[in-house]
Structure 1
Amino acid sequence: MTESEIVGTPAGDARITWHPAPGRARLVLALSHGAGGGVDARDLRALAAGMPAAGVSVALVEQPWRVAGKKIAPAPKTLDTAWRGLWPALAEKGLPIIAGGRSAGARVACRTARELGARAVLALSFPLHPPGRPEKSRADELLGAGVPVLVVQGGSDPFGRPEEFPDGAYELIAVDAADHALSVPERAAVTQREVLGSVVDGVRRWITALV
C-alpha cells in the first residue's frame, strides 16, 4: 500500500510517495522525475512496482515545481536545494539510501550524492548533453558523483547514446532501440513490457551486488 507525504523544503513543498517493501526493508531507493514529466514515467512506475519484493522501499519524489502545478522546471540549483531539503524525510527510515531519478532527476542525484551520504546513484536516461550538442557535456556530474553509479541508457537517446559515455567508475545498462523515455518502437525486437522488466531485473542485480 502506498503512502504519500508532503515535505517542506526551502524551494517549496515536495511530495514523497512511498512504495514500501513488505516485511523488513534493507534500503530506500529514492527516485525523482525529469524536467519534462512526473513520477508517472513508465520506468519509475516499473521500479516502484518491482523493487519492494526485493526488500527495497521505493520513494518517488515530486519536486516542488511539480507539486505546485508549474509547467517549467527551475534552475538546477533550485532542484538541488529542494532535494537537500527533503533528504531528512528519506533518512528517517534509518536505512541506506540509493539516490536517483530520470534525466534531470539523475543529475540532481549525482551532484548531491556525496554531500548527502547516498549509498549509490541510479541514473535513468542521464542527459549527457543537450540533443545535437555533444560539446555541452555533463559528464563531470556523472564522473564526480563520488559513489557507485548505475546508468540505464536508451540506445537511441538523443541526450546521449551509450557509446558516447566516457570511461569511468560507473556501470551502464544499454537498452537497445530505446529513446530518452526508455520507449521502444513497435517494430523493435523486444516489447515495451520486456524492456521494463529487463530494467527492473538489472537494477535488482546491481543493488544485490552493491549491498
Structure 2
Amino acid sequence: MITDDQIEFLFDGDENAKLTIVLAHGAGAPMDSPFMNEMAGAIADNGWRVARFEFPYMAKRRIDGKKRGPDRGPVLLDFFGEVVRQLGDPNHLIIGGKSMGGRMASMVADELGVAGLVCLGYPFHPPGKPEKLRTDHLLGLKTKALICHGTRDPFGKPDEVAGYGLSDAIKLHWVEDGEHDFKPRKSSGRTQSQNITDASKAISDFANVMVK
C-alpha cells in the first residue's frame, strides 16, 4: 500500500535513540489503549524511541466512532510496509505489536529487513482451538525476535509453545501468571504494571543486543 498520505504516528521517548521500536495495536483496541500507553512509556523509560500507529480500520473508527473488524490480511501487511517506509531506515527499526499487530509484524519482518521483531502476546492459535496454529512462518523466521507471552495466555500455553519448533531466531520472555494482556491473578501477588515493566526490560535487553 503505497500512499502519499502521512501516517499519524504517536511517539514516545528519545528521538535520537539508536533504535525505534514500532508497536502496532491489537485487533480490538487502539494505539492509545491503557495497555499500549503503559507499555510504550515503560519501553521509552529504558531509553528507546517508540512509534505507534493505527491500521486503516482503527483509524476510521477514531473518526466516526463505529466499531469494525480488522482489515483483511493483505491490507494490514501492506500497511505495515508503508509504516516502515515512512519511518526510514529499517536497520534502525524493531517492529512488532500487541497480539494481531505483532503477528502482522512477524509476517513481514524478514521481507522488510528490519533490525528485530517484538511480539506482545502472540496469538499462536485462537482460544480453545489449539489445532488452528498460526505458526508456519515462525518456523523459518530469520529476523531476531522476542515474544513476550503470558503463562496463562489462552492463545498459547507454555507447554503448547514448547512443542511448536519455532525458529532459533526467536526468544521467549514468559510473563509470570499473565493473561493475554499480561494481567495476573491477584493471588499471584503480582500486578499488571509489574509484568509490563518486566517485559519492557526484556525488550530493552533485546534491543541493546541489536545495537552492539
TM-score normalised by the chain length of structure 1: 0.86
Shift of 1:73: 0.7
Shift of 1:27: 0.8
- 1:167-211: CA deviation from partner (whole Å, max 9, x where unpaired): 331100111221111112222221222111111111111111232
Contact preservation (8 Å) 1:107, 1:142 = no
- 1:108-137: CA deviation from partner (whole Å, max 9, x where unpaired): 111111111111100111000111111111
Contact preservation (8 Å) 1:21, 1:53 = no
User: 101, 120, 125: which is aligned to 1:124?
Assistant: 120
Give the alignment of 1:189-208 within 5 angstroms.
Answer: 189-208=189-208
- Aligned partner of residue 101 in structure 1, secondary structure: strand
User: 68, 73, 77: which is aligned to 2:70?
Assistant: 73
TM-score normalised by the chain length of structure 2: 0.85
1: CA distance between counterparts of 2:139 and 2:52? 24
- 1:68-104: CA deviation from partner (whole Å, max 9, x where unpaired): 0142112211111211122211116x86100100111
Aligned to 1:31: 23
* Count of aligned positions: 201
Q: 1 or 2, which has the higher helix percentage?
A: 2
Shift of 1:158: 0.9
Shift of 1:141: 2.7
Aligned to 1:148: 144
Aligned to 1:4: none
Asked if residue 58 in structure 1 is aligned to residue 56 in structure 2, the reply is no
1: CA distance between counterparts of 2:104 and 2:20? 17
Q: Unmatched 5+ residue regions in structure 2? A: 62-66
Asked if residue 100 in structure 1 is aligned to residue 96 in structure 2, the reply is yes
Aligned to 2:155: 159
Asked if residue 112 in structure 1 is aligned to residue 108 in structure 2, the reply is yes
Q: Cα RMSD over matched residues? A: 2.2
Q: Structure 2 counterpart of 1:143, which letter?
A: L
- 1:4-46: CA deviation from partner (whole Å, max 9, x where unpaired): xxxx955x87431111416x31011001011121223444323
Q: Structure 2 counterpart of 1:188, which letter?
A: S
How high is the sequence identity, in percent, across the aligned residues? 28
2: CA distance between counterparts of 1:204 and 1:89? 23
Q: Unmatched 5+ residue regions in structure 1? A: 1-7
1: CA distance between counterparts of 2:205 and 2:110? 23
